[in-house]
Amino acid sequence: EADIYQTPRYLVIGTGKKITLECSQTMGHDKMYWYQQDPGMELHLIHYSYGVNSTEKGDLSSESTVSRIRTEHFPLTLESARPSHTSQYLCASSEYAGGSTDTQYFGPGTRLTVL
């Protein structure tokens, strides 16, 4: 059973606010990911990390930033939220098993609405 948690589950916030989406996993996984998901569209990778102090931008350009100070924690921050940031944000983690067969475990997601 995967143990990966995201808070908050839902967030409605005004334009210009700074927000942090939390993601924690208790599986000791080195690899962690942030995806953006919109209805009818594929999940887009926006950030990933291979371990502590490692962060990389994903395939979809994002104004958000991430940090990885502890193995279990991978928060995502938006310095100034805009309506275009409205989306579902999914966090995932995986244990390295050769790359092509890694299983990613997903959190339940944070539904962000920026007014």
Partner 1 sequence: TQLLEQSPQFLSIQEGENLTVYCNSSSVFSSLQWYRQEPGEGPVLLVTVVTGGEVKKLKRLTFQFGDARKDSSLHITAAQPGDTGLYLCAGVKVDSWGKLQFGAGTQVVVTP
Q: Which residues bind partner 1 (CB under 8 A)?
A: 4, 31, 35, 40-45, 48, 50, 58-59, 90, 92, 94, 96, 98-109
| Least spacing, CB of residue 91 vs partner 1, in Å | 8
Nearer to partner 1, 17 or 111 (CB): 111
| Least spacing, CB of residue 48 vs partner 1, in Å | 7
Burial of 96 (0-12, 13-18, 19+ CB in 10 A): exposed
| Least spacing, CB of residue 70 vs partner 1, in Å | 21
Nearer to partner 1, 29 or 85 (CB): 29
Nearer to partner 1, 17 or 58 (CB): 58
How far is it, in rounded angstroms, from Cα 49 to Cα 42? 20
How far is it, in rounded angstroms, from Cα 17 to Cα 19? 6
Name the nearest CA neighbour of 44 among 27, 25, 58: 58
- Are 68 and 75 in contact by the 8 Å Cβ rule? The answer is no
DSSP character for 70?
A: B
| Least spacing, CB of residue 28 vs partner 1, in Å | 17
Nearer to partner 1, 63 or 102 (CB): 102
